Amino acid sequence: MRKVRVRFAPSPTGPLHIGGVRTALYNYLFARQNGGDMILRIEDTDQTRFVPGAEDYIIEALDWLGIKFDEGVHIGGNYGPYRQSDRKPLYRQYADQLLRDGWAYYAFDRPEALDAKRKEYEAQKKTFQYDCTTRLSMENSLSLPADEVQRRIDNGEPYVVRFKFPEDMDITVHDLIRGDVTMNSRLLDDKVLFKSDGMPTYHLANIVDDHLMEVSHVIRGEEWLPSAPLHVMLYRAFGWEDTMPQFAHLPLLLKPDGNGKLSKRDGDRLGFPVFPLDWHNPETGEISSGYRERGYLPEAVVNMLALLGWNPGNDQELMTMDELIKLFSIEHISKSGAKFNVEKAKWFNHEYLQKCSDERIAEMFLPQLKEHGIKIEATESNNFQFSIFNFQFVMKVCGMMKERISFPSELWDQTHYFFVAPTEYDPKAVAKRWKPGMTTHMAKVIEILNTVPFEYDAIHQALLEDYIKGNELNMGQIMNSLRLAVVGTTVGPDMLTLVMTIGKEETIARVQRAIATIGEPQE
Ligand code: GLU
């Protein structure tokens, strides 16, 4: 059997859309599953759409997601160069071959003449197409005498090379997802293969490169399906049909409401990223947000994208890259578009955060801590007064609180009271919980902390069992008041775990401050 070789072939016209990332991912899963090669080829034949920085962005984004390549523009390989502009001298001979064999022709029509033609058709509510029905009324090597064609070429008149579709032929593309898709050549226009600037177009370069790079499967977005009949015909014209790659056209990624394709603009408009990384538009300075900077984990993005258009045949949702490689199959790719679901994306991130080590989450938290003036140093014990903590403490807090967050950016809101003592107390909670006699109860809490061993069970016994239950006191009010004193509000994790985490001295200091600040309520 032929070796599986797939390629991801983006055009560097801007940041990579999340749909493009999914295409890269499916190619990668397929390559890995079949022990094949994954190639990164940059398709930059349209120099007018070239955007500086886009190629580096694509490489960085795929690297962040763990989509790795065996060959490509950034790592080389035996089939290079992998950037089409660096392959420029190679394409001309293929255009010449098609001209020689009658599969292509020279066309001299100036852009103004083509525009005029389009307008003429529009005026009659028709659409102009350069095809078998119109080509003889245009200026090309099919309509002009041979000596005139030669004269124009010799005079250096600009021309393009167009593909010559046979007049009435059904062309079938066998698609691994959609089955046979047949189109009649009358519906297809004689696409430009080679431009007057000496560059091939996407169509010619793509087919030549897939052939020379021995690509076995072309897995790409559905938007390329209308071009596939031309591609099939090009393989035929070149005599390469035997080794033509197999095609799989992936369903579109749709807006969350299912109405239309997920566009570049949708992301920031609807409040979720459509790019893997932040993109700074070099021309406008505009920033489009990316998954990485929003705090998504690469494994969550990979898992979510894998399921946008594919399923493992059951309802399993959480899958690592290795599992996806095992389970992936082209047969389970759906034909219909996949709706983007931002809630699901958050859910995946939450789930993957739970799988992260406390150390990894703590690392992600460090910039926020720094922003809030918290210093993380290699100290034995924490110093609340000077906001100096050790990394082990940050890890512990992260481990305790991660189940409450979907993004690392939520960590400070959820954990600030571990690092900074409250200076204000939620007035509503004070009114509800801090009842007459509370300063005495809080003084008792301090006494217990000062006398019993500083251990969870011992404090539990002395405070909750002996003091509160033993004296038939109001458990909710006392424990919530203690929480108010330590946190400033009545939210947070298990109270005694919190006390054990911040330590005896800090707890006592906070309770003392609450007694002094709130004082004894008036009856
Ligand atoms: N350069 C094309 C793109 O930007 C590649 C299409 C293909 O994979 O054939 O999507």
- Burial pattern 290-318, b for ≥16 Cβ within 10 A else e, equals bbbeebbbbbbbbbbbbbbbbbbeeeeee
- Ligand 1 centroid–CA 453 distance in Å is 68
Cβ-based neighbours of 136, under 8 Å, separated by 6 or more: 142, 143
Ligand 1: residue of 46, 202, 207, 210 to mutate (most ligand atoms within 8 A of CB) is 202
Ligand 1 centre from 313 Cα, in Å? 28
With a cut of 80, say whether residue 522 has pLDDT above it: no
Q: Which ligand 1 atom lies nearest to the CA of residue 219?
A: 8
Closest alpha carbon to 34 in 323, 246, 325: 325
Give domain limits for the chain. 1-74+251-355, 86-250, 357-419, 421-523
Instruction: List, by residue number, the catalytic residues.
Output: 264
pLDDT for position 208: 98
Asked if residues 239 and 264 have their Cβ atoms less than 8 Å apart, the reply is: no
Per-residue model confidence (pLDDT) at position 28 = 98
Q: What confidence tens digit (pLDDT) does each residue in 453-508 have?
A: 999 999 999 999 999 999 999 999 999 999 999 999 999 999 999 999 999 999 99
> What backbone phi and psi angles, to 5 degrees, belong to 14?
155, -165
**CA-closest candidate to residue 107, choices 217, 201, 175, 34:** 201
DSSP 220-258: EEGGGGGGHHHHHHHHHHHT-GGGPPEEEEEPPEEPTTS
pLDDT at position 523 over 70: no
Mutation test residue for ligand 1: of 57, 173, 224, the one with most atoms within 8 Å of CB = 224
Domain 86-250: assigned CATH number: 3.90.800.10
Residue 195 has which token pair? Answer: 């431009």
Instruction: State the closest ligand 1 atom to the C-alpha of 206, by its place in the atom list counted from 1.
Output: 9
For residue 218, give the ligand 1 atom closest to its CA: 8
Q: How far is the CA of 58 from the centre of ligand 1 (A)?
A: 13
Of all protein residues, whose CA lies closest to atom 3 belonging to ligand 1? 10
Using a pLDDT cut of 70, give the percent of the chain over it: 100
Ligand 1 atom with the shortest distance to the CA of 23 = 8
Q: What is the mean pLDDT of the chain?
A: 95
HEC assignment per residue over 183-218? EEHHHCCCCEEECCCCCECHHHHHHHHHHHCCCCEE
For 370-429, the pLDDT digits (tens) are: 999 999 999 999 999 999 999 999 999 999 999 999 999 999 999 999 999 999 999 999
Domain at 421-523, CATH class: mainly alpha
* Percent over 90 (pLDDT), the chain: 92
pLDDT digits (tens, 9 = 90+) for 10-26: 999 999 999 999 999 99
Mutational pocket test of ligand 1: of 220, 253, 264, the residue with most ligand atoms within 8 Å of the beta carbon: 220
Write the pLDDT tens digit of every residue in 292-348: 999 999 999 999 999 999 999 999 999 999 999 999 999 999 999 999 999 999 999
For ligand 1, atom 10, the nearest C-alpha belongs to 10
Ligand 1 probe mutation, 7, 11, 222, most atoms within 8 A of CB = 11
> Residue 185 is encoded by which pair of tokens?
């050549």
pLDDT at 268: 72
- Looking at the CA of residue 20, tell me the nearest atom of ligand 1: 10
For residue 29, what pLDDT is reported? 98
* H/E element, 58: helix 54-65
Which protein residue's CA is at the shortest distance from atom 2 of ligand 1? 10
Non-local CB neighbours of 439 within 8 Å, separated by 6+ positions: 515, 518, 519, 520
Distance 269 CA to ligand 1 centre (A): 26
Ligand 1 centroid to residue 434 C-alpha, Å? 66
DSSP 85: G
pLDDT at position 163, please? 98
Expressed in angstroms and rounded, the spacing between residue 46 Cα and the centre of ligand 1 is 12
Per-residue pLDDT at 89: 95
Closest protein CA for atom 5 of ligand 1: 9
C-alpha 447/C-alpha 456 separation (Å) is 16
Residues 135 and 190 sit within 8 Å (Cβ to Cβ): yes
Average pLDDT over residues 32-56: 94
Pick the CATH number of 1-74+251-355 from 3.40.50.620, 3.65.10.10, 2.60.120.10, 3.30.365.10: 3.40.50.620
Ligand 1 atom closest to the CA of 231, numbered from 1: 9
Whole-structure pTM value: 0.92
pLDDT score, position 270: 79
Residues with a CB atom less than 6 Å from ligand 1: 9-11, 43, 202, 206, 218, 220, 224
**pLDDT at residue 194 tops 90:** yes
Buried b (16+ CB within 10 A) or exposed e, 93-123: ebbeebbeeebbbbbbbeeeeeeebeeeeee
Determine the distance separating the centroid of ligand 1 and the alpha carbon of 220, expressed in angstroms. Answer: 7
pLDDT of res. 125: 95
Q: How far is the CA of 14 from the centre of ligand 1 (A)?
A: 14
